[in-house]
Amino acid sequence: MSNPCLQASGLRKSYAMGRRTLEVLRGVDLTVNHGEFLALRGASGAGKSTLLHLLGGLDRPDAGEVRFEGTLLNRLSASALPEFRNRHVGFVFQSYHLLPELDALENVALPARMARKPFGPTLERSRELLHRVGLGERMEHLPAELSGGEQQRVCLARCLVNEPTLILADEPTGNLDSRTGTEILELLLQLRQEHGTTLVIATHDARVAERAGRVVSMADGRILEGPAVA
C-alpha cells in the first residue's frame, strides 16, 4: 500500500512579465511516497524549479493544492509556512544560498537555531554532519573561502540538521564538475539512505536520473504521460 508524503493536485502557477503573463505550471498532479527517490527531468523552463518551490511551501499555487502528510499547505498562514519548512523540509539549491558572513558551522546550525533547538546539541550535530560530508577541517571557513563543491557539501549538511522528512534538491550537481558532482550525488544518496528521507531532485544530469527509483518528465508546465524522457 502506498504511503504518500506529498500529494499535488491541479497545480497552476503564473508570473507577470511586464505586460505579459508567463504560465509556468498548467495543472500538475503528482504523488510522492514516503522514502521515495524521485527525479524530475525536463528542459529549462519546463517548470521543475517552480514545482519544487510549491511542493516545499516556498511559494503558493494560483490554483490547485499541495498536501504534506495530509496537511493542506494552501491553508497554512504566512507565519506557519516558514515553521513547516524549517521542521519538515531540507532544501539544496544549485546556487547554495549560504550566508556570506557566517562560517560553515554557523550556516549548518542556522536552521536548528531558528527552530530554537538547544545550542549545545545543535552545534554537536552540525559538527558531526560537517565531518560526515568531509569538511571537518573547514568548519570555520566562510563561504567565499570554500570551493563550489565544498559549499554544496555545507548545503547538504545544513539541509539535514533538522532531520527533515523531505529533501528537495534543485540541480544540486549543476554548477559542479563531473567528479565533484558524482561525489555530491553519492553523499546525498548515502545520507538519504541512512535517514530514510524522501528525496525529490530536479535535474538535467543523467547520472542522477539513473539512480532514482522513479523518473518523471516535465514539458511546458505539465507532467508528461508515458516513459520518462530527458
CATH of the domain at 89: 3.40.50.300
Is the CB of residue 8 less than 8 Å from the CB of residue 56? Answer: no
Q: Is the dihedral of CA 107, 109, 112, 114 positive or negative?
A: negative
Domain count, the chain: 1
Q: What is the pLDDT of residues 89-121, one digit of tens each?
A: 999 887 888 999 999 999 999 999 988 999 999
The predicted structure's pLDDT at residue 207: 83
Give domain status of residue 157, yes or no.
yes
Question: Does 107 reside within a domain?
Answer: yes
Domain membership of residue 137 (yes or no) is yes
Sheet with 89-92, edge to edge strand ranges? 89-92, 166-170, 198-202, 37-41, 214-219, 222-223
Phi, psi angle pair for 225, to nearest 5°: -85, 155
pLDDT tens figures, 183-216: 888 888 888 888 889 999 998 888 888 999 999 9
Distance (Å, whole) CA 145 – CA 100: 10
Q: Which residue has better confidence, 175 or 135? A: 135
Q: How far apart are the first and last CA of the chain?
A: 29
With 0.85 as the threshold, say if the pTM is over it: yes
Domain that holds residue 152: 4-223
Query: Nearest-CA neighbor of 68 among 80, 78, 55?
Result: 55
Q: Does any domain span residue 229?
A: no
Segment 31-82, tens digit of pLDDT: 999 999 999 998 888 999 999 999 999 999 999 999 999 999 989 999 899 9
Q: What is the pLDDT of residue 47?
A: 93
